[in-house]
Amino acid sequence: MITQLVYGLAGIVLFLLGVWSFLVHDPLLRKLIALNIMGAGVFHILMAVAYRGLDAPPDPIPHALVLTGIVVAVSATALALTLGQRLERRDD
């Protein structure tokens, strides 16, 4: 129970750190990392929710959500990096 709570709270802290970093830092790469940290925070919470004790198997739904969320985050990050690269190339 305590482990679960620590995991969940750590997720919320990660999310807040991500928001702070996203709003404060200007470079694209830092913003993207911040967004991914926010995502990691949410996934942390979902993992904590899935835990149902040592004897019972974990709840599969949050796991499915995390997997889908990772796919979405990867594609969004890839697109943002491509657009950013296009901008940098023009700077030269």
Site for another protein in 35-64 (CB under 8 A): 35, 38-39, 41-42, 45-46, 49, 61-62
How far apart are the C-alpha atoms of 41 and 54, rounded to whole Å? 23
Q: Which of 8, 4, 87, 7 lies closest to 53 in space, CA to CA?
A: 4
Question: With respect to another protein, which residue has the nearer C-beta, 4 or 55?
Answer: 4
How far apart are the C-alpha atoms of 40 and 87, rounded to whole Å? 27
Indicate the length of the chain as a whole number.
92
9 is a site residue for another protein (CB under 8 A): no
74 is a site residue for another protein (CB under 8 A): no
Q: How many residues bind another protein (CB under 8 A)?
A: 32
How far apart are the C-alpha atoms of 13 and 20, rounded to whole Å? 11
Give the interface with another protein as residue ranges (CB under 8 A). Answer: 8, 11, 15, 18-19, 22, 28, 31-32, 35, 38-39, 41-42, 45-46, 49, 61-62, 65, 68-69, 72, 75-76, 79-80, 83-84, 86-87, 90
